[in-house]
Amino acid sequence: MSNVIQLTQDGSQTLFSETFDATYHSIFGAIEEAIHVFIAGGLDYAVLSEKRDISVFEMGFGTGLNAWLTYIAAKRRNLNVHYTGIELFPVKEGTWSQLTYVNQIPCTDLEKEAFQELHKCKWDEEVSIADTFTFQKLLADITVYNFEPSSFDIIYYDAFAPNTQGILWEEELHTTLYNSLKPGGALVTYCAKGVFKRMLKSLGYTLDSLNGPHRKHEMTRAIKPY
């Protein structure tokens, strides 16, 4: 995988993948998108149900931005988060070590170091990054991964867009993901394409169409009924 660092409009970086011809985040703002879609739209939704122990699954660990922001949020909100991120094409150290997210969010030195820990820890082993945050990176292909049923409270669905990796937006994989959510759990994504939302509905989800970040009109939160 060959990635090039790019600046987005909120001043935070993203990667442009030459292999997929796509950016890892919205060019209008990587940090803004991550906070709006995944932290506010996903993690904070789980908090509404007064849960203090929350299991998060992320499709596409990538730069580690969503995982690191979730680690920060867990500390600030006094939550216990169990985070699993899957990634088939890890970002190389020479690239992730140049990312400057930790300078753009007010945080302590320990919290800055956690960004590196997320990248440096071993694949496929659970580690404790803090009392409030256990973490596991899976080096695997999501399309063939063997999910345990009813495991997750929240899925951060941060795949490359349907026009780039159509297979990741199809019914077969999303049936598996639906089954991997606990009752009352939710999948959140920046994608609000009609055909994708209709497929989610047909699987049994209830949909919340929420305002998207920056100029994007909508994002999607799909809730599995109890």
Give contact residues for ligand SAM (rule: CB under 6 A).
24, 60, 62-63, 65-66, 86-89, 141-143, 158-160, 165
Q: Side-chain half-sphere of 143: how many Cα atoms within 13 Å?
A: 9
Give min distance, CB of 160 to ligand SAM, in A: 5
| Nearest CA-CA partner of 136 in 77, 56, 65, 69 | 56
| Nearest CA-CA partner of 82 in 32, 50, 108, 46 | 46
Cα distance from N-terminal residue to C-terminal residue, the chain: 40
Give min distance, CB of 30 to ligand SAM, in A: 8
Distance in angstroms (rounded) separating the CA atoms of residues 191 and 225: 21
Task: Using the minimum distance from each CB to ligand SAM, give the nearer residue, 67 or 131.
Answer: 67
Task: Using the minimum distance from each CB to ligand SAM, give the nearer residue, 54 or 188.
Answer: 188
Task: Using the minimum distance from each CB to ligand SAM, give the nearer residue, 23 or 55.
Answer: 23
Q: Side-chain half-sphere of 203: how many Cα atoms within 13 Å?
A: 26
Task: Using the minimum distance from each CB to ligand SAM, give the nearer residue, 107 or 201.
Answer: 107
Distance in angstroms (rounded) separating the CA atoms of residues 215 and 123: 36
Task: Using the minimum distance from each CB to ligand SAM, give the nearer residue, 4 or 49.
Answer: 4
Give min distance, CB of 3 to ligand SAM, in A: 9
Give min distance, CB of 87 to ligand SAM, in A: 5
Distances (CA, A) of 167 to 17, 45, 77, 144: 18, 27, 35, 12
Give min distance, CB of 65 to ligand SAM, in A: 4
What are the b/e assignments for 168-197, b being 16+ CB within 10 Å? bbeeebbebbbebbbeebbbbbbbbeeebb
CB 193 within 8 A of CB 162: yes
Task: Using the minimum distance from each CB to ligand SAM, give the nearer residue, 144 or 183.
Answer: 144
Give min distance, CB of 15 to ligand SAM, in A: 7
